[in-house]
Structure 1
Amino acid sequence: MKKKILFVITKSNWGGAQRYVYDLAVSLSPFYECTVALGGSGLLRTRLETAGVTVIAIPSLERDISIQKELVAFFFLVKFLRKESYDIVHLNSSKAGGLGALAARFAKIPRVIFTAHGWPFNEPRGLLSRGAIYIASSITALLSDAIITISHKDYAQGIQMPGMKRKIFYIPLGIDTPLTAYQSKEGARKFLLQTPAFAQFHNGQEKRLTMLGAHRIIGTVGELTKNKGIEYGIRAIALLNKKTQQKNHFYVLIGDGEEKGALESLAKSLNVTDQIFFIGFIPDAWKYLNALDCFLLPSLKEGLPYVILEATRVACPIVATSVGGIPDVLHTYPNGKLIPTKNPEEIARAILALNTIRNTDEILSEKNTLATMLTETKKVYEPIPTTS
């Protein structure tokens, strides 16, 4: 009889943590009876249901803080966990981690796992706020039987928390995307030209492709939030105009988020509106990475972004900030440059210095394969008993 696992995550949109839950739930279904509990009805829910994974909606579970809604979600989880008798609960995201760990203890779940997709106390906040979040994260960790971190930095920080030394693990994300799944450079650029963001160019597709070819195409894939540091990428484009004395760089932003309006205003104030393209959310945006001459990730805080792994998979030149698990990947990547956060000058300098000729012989590190991630995660689910 298969053991029962419940994955819990706050948001059901499609991001890194959601892809992680999807990959685990779908890939481990032959070995475990997998269920996913989540808030909302976004793309994660749709894809899980299409893959045949049971999905449970948690009432009132949202990212924004609301004591009343969190109490509703907590008591729902306790009741549900007691009824279904899960062997393992695997928690993802900060709010789901805190509520889920406490609920799992009330329900006497045998094994509780929490994956830290980037510790939230690393976000740029005030000292008191970060201190409170650190305490909350420590409590979540104490209530869990095991903590999985996806970057060396998060592991190093987590192991300093009380009681963590024997139950914290470093398991980096993994992918198994075949090279045939990515669009060719021409195909990817044709796709971009069909989006509304490029509607200003009405001079025929071939001429538009030529126009793209005359510019260096910089791109970022991610939610338009402050944590992604997009404003520094836009400021870097303005600096590149001054350094090169011409507007020969386009910046393509694939993703949506609450900062879009502010970023559009910033682009206008810097006179780079005609160089910044807000494409919006695209499912599986990694398919179009070959359209880029450089992938830029100016994040202020990360865990380990999947898109960095996808970019290395197609040997895309990369400029990224030295946060979270990004250095773990780029440290051995020959055509990547690490830069400090909040520094448009360094972004511009790195883009100009980057070699945009791709080495297609590059291969993904063995530690960043889906097979390795699954194997190591199963070891955490069912550790071998130690003898005293």
Structure 2
Amino acid sequence: MKSHLYKIIHTTCHTDWGGLEKRVLNESLWMADKGHQVIIIAPENTPLLQRAKGHGLNLYPMSFKRLSALSDYSRLIRIFNQEKPHIVNTHGNTDSKIALPAAKKALVPCRILSRHISTPVSNTWYNRLLYKKLSHYTFTTADYTRRHLQDVFNLSAQQVFSIPSGIVEPAALSPKDEERKNLAAKLNLDPCARFIGFAGRVSQDKGVDTLLQGFQKAARHIPHHLVIAGTGEASFLGRMSELARDLNIENRVHFIGFQENVWPFYRSLDCKILPSVFEGIPQVLIEAMYALCPVIGSRTGGIADIITHDETGLLFNVGQSCQLCEMIIKTIDHPEATNERAQNAEQKMKRCHTIETMGQKIIRIYQSHFNNT
């Protein structure tokens, strides 16, 4: 193919606004800025489609529900035949099962299945069909997931790639002390208050219960408040609020909901914690590290790929609140070592995890594919 400009279609069945959706939008905008044509197909009135409006991207609403699978399949074939994309990249379980067969039927020349989470994939006949026949490539966000898929499906290094999400760098970062005082004022606390925090979906798989238990153990040794930024199901949020009361830490735990601009939040913290049960390489962790915020993560999936223990952050075993407590105290009580880890992490993020780095890696894969077909 002579031209290196591509028409790319992304599909997703997801309706939230998290790392996956941010990845789709940021990648799409980066590609469009480089001159490529980008189309997003997602459920109607979702944050992804709402935020994509006004950026010059083509948008198609699609329900991606079980009851509409056949009609979605037929409509996708029509869209693919009409748009004639060079690349279709699917990002969710349901849309992959519909869009990849439709893309193959429409003879789309490059088909990609993106897997954003690190949960195990079973070696079923249908998964073999998805990963080995219907898609040319699998993109993962973590080496852990890439290695798992290679082992399960006997995929070659030319079939599955680890491409961590790249962050869109902020124009500037505000002073840490200023943002700490701003957060204290927002929470009606003493201006000298200190904070550790969590950002992301507030759910069981993110280990929020372990976070509260670890903080409760550390709270008697440190003066900090725990601030939890993000949304989740009302029933789970209620259970976590109840757990904080049961642990007698409700006065030092603050649920502040979704934060549109996370950079001031990261700058206000003395430590950001991600205690997930399973995870790809989370964008919230990359962002915090870029913002020179010290990090602690659970030793699982892509978190262990991005945090090198005692070098760019600290790790603890999944679900081990006592270990988390130790890592929190170690972070707070040894500021020189903590600052050194944060600086190492920032340098690594700037070197390896920007949107430019991610986009260029993807373009090289596209070019290699079309040069060899």
TM-score, normalised relative to structure 1: 0.84
The Cα of 1:44 is off from its aligned counterpart by 2.1
Letter in 1 for 2:174: Q
- Map of 2:324 onto structure 1: 347
The Cα of 1:135 is off from its aligned counterpart by 5.9
- Map of 1:152 onto structure 2: 143
Q: Which has the larger displacement, 46-55 or 259-268?
A: 46-55
In 2 relative to 1, CA 176–67 (structure 1 residues): closer, same or farther, beyond 3 Å? closer
The Cα of 1:145 is off from its aligned counterpart by 0.6
**8 A contact 1:151–1:170 mirrored in 2:** yes
- Map of 1:125 onto structure 2: none
The Cα of 1:338 is off from its aligned counterpart by 0.9
The Cα of 1:385 is off from its aligned counterpart by 6.4
The Cα offsets for residues 40-78 of structure 1, whole Å up to 9 and x where unpaired, read as 4233223211322222111x23xxxx5314344333323
Letter in 2 for 1:28: M
The Cα of 1:367 is off from its aligned counterpart by 2.4
Partner-residue secondary structure (3-state), 1:283? coil
Partner-residue secondary structure (3-state), 2:305? helix
Separation in 2, partners of 1:333, 1:47: 38
- Map of 1:257 onto structure 2: 232
- Map of 2:348 onto structure 1: 364
Separation in 2, partners of 1:14, 1:164: 31
The Cα of 1:115 is off from its aligned counterpart by 1.5
The Cα of 1:95 is off from its aligned counterpart by 2.2
The Cα of 1:93 is off from its aligned counterpart by 2.4
Letter in 1 for 2:9: L
- Map of 1:238 onto structure 2: 216
1:375 is the counterpart of 2:360: yes
**8 A contact 1:98–1:137 mirrored in 2:** no
1:172 is the counterpart of 2:164: yes
- Map of 1:183 onto structure 2: 174
In 2 relative to 1, CA 27–386 (structure 1 residues): closer, same or farther, beyond 3 Å? closer
In 2 relative to 1, CA 384–83 (structure 1 residues): closer, same or farther, beyond 3 Å? closer
Separation in 1, partners of 2:16, 2:70: 22
The Cα of 1:119 is off from its aligned counterpart by 3.8
Separation in 2, partners of 1:135, 1:251: 46
The Cα of 1:323 is off from its aligned counterpart by 1.5
Separation in 2, partners of 1:345, 1:314: 27
The Cα of 1:272 is off from its aligned counterpart by 1.3
**8 A contact 1:219–1:253 mirrored in 2:** yes
The Cα of 1:384 is off from its aligned counterpart by 5.2
Separation in 1, partners of 2:293, 2:315: 14
- Map of 2:199 onto structure 1: 221
Letter in 2 for 1:147: T
- Map of 2:39 onto structure 1: 35
Separation in 2, partners of 1:301, 1:138: 23
**8 A contact 2:89–2:112 mirrored in 1:** yes
**8 A contact 1:286–1:307 mirrored in 2:** no
Among the aligned pairs, what percent are the same residue?
Answer: 22
Q: Which has the larger displacement, 19-28 or 82-91?
A: 82-91
**8 A contact 2:42–2:61 mirrored in 1:** yes
CA-based RMSD: 2.5
Partner-residue secondary structure (3-state), 1:383? helix
Q: Which has the larger displacement, 167-176 or 261-270?
A: 167-176
Unmatched 5+ stretches in structure 2: none
The Cα of 1:229 is off from its aligned counterpart by 0.6
**8 A contact 1:294–1:317 mirrored in 2:** yes
Separation in 2, partners of 1:31, 1:10: 26
TM-score, normalised relative to structure 2: 0.87
Letter in 2 for 1:18: E
Unmatched 5+ stretches in structure 1: 122-129, 202-206
The Cα of 1:140 is off from its aligned counterpart by 2.3
Separation in 2, partners of 1:40, 1:387: 37
1:305 is the counterpart of 2:282: yes
Partner-residue secondary structure (3-state), 2:147? helix
Report matched runs for 1:1-388 at 5 Å. 2-29=5-32, 30-58=34-62, 60-61=63-64, 67-121=66-120, 131=122, 137-142=127-132, 143-162=134-153, 164-165=155-156, 166-178=158-170, 180-193=171-184, 195=186, 198=187, 201=188, 208-210=190-192, 212-213=193-194, 217-241=195-219, 244=221, 248-258=223-233, 259-331=236-308, 334-354=311-331, 355-357=334-336, 358-359=339-340, 361-362=343-344, 363-365=347-349, 366-383=351-368
Q: Paired residues, what number?
A: 357
In 2 relative to 1, CA 160–131 (structure 1 residues): closer, same or farther, beyond 3 Å? closer
Partner-residue secondary structure (3-state), 2:45? coil
Partner-residue secondary structure (3-state), 1:76? helix
